[in-house]
Amino acid sequence: MRFPSAKGGEKAAMAPKVSFIIPVYNAERFVVEAVRSVLDQTFGDFECLLVYDPSSDGTLPLLRSLAREDSRVRVVRNREGKGVLGARNTGIRLAGGTYIAMMDADDVSLPRRMETQVGFLERHPEVGLVGSSNFSIYPDRDVFQGRPRSHDHVAAWMLFANVICNSSVLFRRAVLPRGRAFRVYPCEDYDLWLRLSLKTRLENLPEPLVRYRIHEGQSSVANADADRNTADRLRLGQLRALGFRVGREEEGSHAAICPPFRSPRPELLPGIRKWLLDLIGQNRSLKALREPALRQVARELFFQYCALSGRKGLSFYLASLPTPLAGVSALKASHFRAAARRFLRWRPS
């Protein structure tokens, strides 16, 4: 049943179950589509907080029009400043919901998103945050983007990459840290997910529940280098928070193996292999992560890096078999080596 729509800016008499928080800045191209995707949810017990930063385009009249159409929409000013970082914190401070949903002003929530995610958290009280797979919107097509599902795999992957789509997230207000939830920019979402992973379970649903827009104007594209540098620092902090010992040489190897790879180089492979094996070994003692999940992630990344490093990379992978970084038995490894060596000797005619 849909929550009844109302004209005007009256607040609901009771606190909503979910608070949608959407930071808005120079968003006139996409914001109406984004907000309407929220209003069209099959689950209707929510408020939609549009946290507005003064813009140079026609965003504000559009927001006011949307608020007049539906009382669940509230336009609030980002009084904290600091761009999207302040907007997210402002939204959380003003939110009245038990659950908080994140979304950007250029993305789209599919109709069953809230129904599906609220139902999941209601059935799984041990989970503090749930995301989902998504469709990535490119100018000429939509591409399905799968995500690691279980907490064990999400936590292992988060040491190497942010595998939670910000615009797909629903989390319990109760799991938020005291004070300002979002602390750093860029990668403010990655920083919060990493901290939450130390205190609650994070899961991704396999069903795509959002459409995530890829375009040159978005901050993650415009600030790619700053994002990467901040993400590298956050990952090292997470490793040390979990008790792993990471020296200067290992810092470089860890940064190299984190996707997207920066021009894979075969000469880095010995250091990468040594570090990944050390990481797996340390984890056996620390028990910080589930070993099968960490091993699977390390194998996948090691194989990808070798494969993208050309013939030298593939040769190095063969020389590494069988090890904990290769998911094959000794017998299968011998067959794999033979087939790969035939490939390495092959030349196109």
Q: What is the pLDDT of residues 166-221, one digit of tens each?
A: 999 999 999 999 889 999 999 999 999 999 999 999 999 999 999 999 987 666 65
Instruction: Reply yes or no: is the peptide bond before residue 322 cis, omega within 30 of 0.
Output: yes
pLDDT number for residue 220: 60
Instruction: Name the pLDDT band for 9 (thresholds 50, 70, 90).
Output: very low
pLDDT number for residue 319: 86
pLDDT number for residue 314: 86
Which of 164, 256, 248 lies closest to 204, judged by CA?
164
Q: Average the pLDDT over 288-297 and give the result.
A: 96
Average pLDDT, the chain: 90
Paired with 172 in beta bridges are 99
| Higher pLDDT pick, 179 / 115 | 115
Residue 93: pLDDT above 60? yes
Q: How far apart (Å, rounded) are the C-alpha atoms in residues 298 and 324?
A: 9
303: enclosing H helix or E strand:
helix 291-307
Q: What percent of the chain has pLDDT over 90?
A: 79
**CB-neighbour burial class of residue 213 (10 A; exposed 0-12, middle 13-18, buried 19+):** buried
SS3 assignment, position 48: strand
Q: What is the pLDDT of residues 14-25, one digit of tens each?
A: 899 999 999 999
Residue 342: pLDDT above 70? no
Report how far apart the first and last C-alpha atoms of the chain are (Å, whole number): 65
Q: What is the pLDDT of residues 322-336, one digit of tens each?
A: 788 865 544 455 655
Instruction: Name the pLDDT band for 4 (thresholds 50, 70, 90).
Output: very low
pLDDT number for residue 148: 97
Instruction: Name the pLDDT band for 318 (thresholds 50, 70, 90).
Output: confident
Residue 12: pLDDT above 50? no
Residue 347: pLDDT above 80? no
Q: How far apart (Å, rounded) are the C-alpha atoms in residues 220 and 186?
A: 8
In this structure, the strands spanning 73-77 and 46-52 are: parallel
Report all structural domains of the chain as residue ranges with CATH numbers, in order of start: 18-222 (3.90.550.10), 246-345 (no CATH)
Paired with 133 in beta bridges are 208
| Higher pLDDT pick, 253 / 315 | 253
Least confident of 51-65, 231-245, 296-310: 296-310
207: enclosing H helix or E strand:
strand 201-213
In this structure, the strands spanning 127-138 and 170-172 are: antiparallel
| Higher pLDDT pick, 149 / 328 | 149
Instruction: Name the pLDDT band for 3 (thresholds 50, 70, 90).
Output: very low
- Cβ(269)–Cβ(309) below 8 Å: yes
Report residue 252 CA to chain centroid gap. 23
Paired with 143 in beta bridges are 136
**CB-neighbour burial class of residue 100 (10 A; exposed 0-12, middle 13-18, buried 19+):** buried
Task: Output the six-digit token pair for 20.
Answer: 């949608």
pLDDT number for residue 343: 54
